[in-house]
């Protein structure tokens, strides 16, 4: 990715998982993604859908659950580790 290109929301969620809430470190992650984040709908930037799909595939490969969280609902990111729960929402 070029530094001049925008970073899309799904890519930000992926970056958080990679750098802060790694499943390899024992974090259980749930990420909620809506259609507009995936580049669906009118007036989406060119290439957004392709990049969002790539980020989504990588999130799944890391073991992230892609769905609304059972306890917190449609929160962007829920990260759980032992007795720690972190929720991130826009």
pLDDT tens track for 3-14 = 678 899 999 999
pLDDT category at 64 given cuts 50, 70, 90 is very high
pLDDT category at 2 given cuts 50, 70, 90 is low
Q: What is the CA radius of gyration of the chain?
A: 13
Structural domain span for residue 73: 9-88
Residue 14 lies in a domain: yes
Residue spans of alpha helices (H) in the chain: 9-19, 48-61
Residue 46 is predicted with a pLDDT of 85
Residue 3 lies in a domain: no
Distance CA 44, CA 34 (A): 14
State the total domains in the chain. Answer: 1
CA torsion angle 17 54 72 63 (round to 10): -60
pLDDT at 47 over 80: yes
């Amino acid at each position: 990715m070029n530094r001049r290109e925008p970073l899309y929301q799904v890519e930000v969620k992926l970056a958080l998982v990679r750098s802060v809430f790694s499943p390899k470190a024992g974090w259980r992650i749930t990420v909620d993604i809506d259609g507009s984040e995936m580049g669906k709908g009118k007036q989406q930037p060119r290439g957004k859908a392709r990049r969002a799909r790539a980020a989504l595939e990588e999130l799944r490969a890391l073991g992230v659950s892609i769905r609304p969280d059972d306890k917190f609902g449609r929160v962007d990111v829920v990260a759980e580790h032992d007795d720690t729960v972190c929720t991130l929402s826009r």
